[in-house]
Structure 1
Amino acid sequence: MAQIGYVCIGSNDFDRACGFYDALTAELGGKKLFPTPHGQMYRLGSGAMIMVTRPYNEAEAHPGNGTMLAINVDAQEDVARVYDKALSLGAACEGKPGPRGAFGDFAYFRDLDGNKLAVFYTDRGKKQ
């Protein structure tokens, strides 16, 4: 069974981005793992990893148009908690916490480089 191992997020201010993700991943129960030649690897709980990176070709990093990293949290109240933490770290609101249709609760924000992230909770597939 294939799984996503890690996602790269480009930054033009690497130290500032690492400060943001140090605090955000800690809020998610994750941690800083190890440096890479161009970046820093983080783990989200026991799941996927995020690498904050300087572009390999030394060009400017740009957020993807239509690209978003969505992080599934363990409890409905975690959506607002993580969103609030992100905003306190300087993230920009892209959608306040709340229900999105019948799927679950979501919140959206952009990190310090403009990369879009979502945090969400759903009990779909958990009920029997």
Structure 2
Amino acid sequence: MYSHMMVGSNDIDRSKEFYDATFGAIGGKPGIVDDKGRLIYMHNGGLFLVTKPIDGSEATPGNGMTIGIAMDTPEQADAWHAAGVAAGGKAIEDPPGVREGGAMSLYLAYLRDPDGNKLCALKRM
């Protein structure tokens, strides 16, 4: 069912710095910019895009929306989180760590990107 995720940005250069750092921390390549000015990231079969809104309005984060990014290890999630904070993101919620609930154990690390989009690194334990 899932094909891709796209978020809006008001500053594509700032977003490129942030997402190049976070995806780079988990082995991804820097984003490419297409002929429409959108950033495109491809990693582990997933497609993630960043764009200025096509309607010309300001980009705003989705209320209640979280984008989950699969991690191979808790250490990878920590590297992703640290790279994001260093590149202008904001650490949110509890510090990275294991969360228990519903017979599941998850390692989670949450950030907001420079435009306020909520991101989560997730490793199922």
Query: Per the shorter chain, which TM-score range?
Result: 0.7 to 0.9
- Describe how 1:78-97 pairs up with structure 2 within 5 A: 78-95=76-93, 96-97=95-96
d(CA) in 1 for partners of 2:77 and 2:17? 21
CA distance 1:36–1:73, change in 2 (3 Å)? farther
Give, in angstroms, the shift of residue 103 of structure 1: 2.3
1:36-79 Cα shifts (integer Å, max 9, x gaps): 514111112x2211101000011100000011110110012112
- Describe how 1:1-128 pairs up with structure 2 within 5 A: 2=1, 4-31=2-29, 32-44=31-43, 46-95=44-93, 96-101=95-100, 102-123=104-125
With the length of structure 2 as denominator, give the TM-score of the two structures: 0.88
With the length of structure 1 as denominator, give the TM-score of the two structures: 0.86
Q: Where does the alignment leave 5 or more consecutive residues of structure 2 unmatched?
A: none
SS at 2:96 equivalent = strand
Matched length? 120
AA partner of residue 55 (structure 2): N
**RMSD (Å), alpha carbons:** 1.4
Aligned equivalent of 1:126: none
Q: Where does the alignment leave 5 or more consecutive residues of structure 1 unmatched?
A: 124-128
Residues 38, 55 of structure 1: 8 Å contact kept: no
Give, in angstroms, the shift of residue 119 of structure 1: 0.2
Residues 25, 43 of structure 1: 8 Å contact kept: no
SS at 1:103 equivalent = strand
Give, in angstroms, the shift of residue 89 of structure 1: 0.8
Residues 22, 81 of structure 2: 8 Å contact kept: no
AA partner of residue 73 (structure 1): M
Give, in angstroms, the shift of residue 21 of structure 1: 1.1
AA partner of residue 15 (structure 2): A
Instruction: Work out which structure has the larger RCO, using CA pairs closer than 8 Å and 6 or more positions apart in sequence.
Output: 2
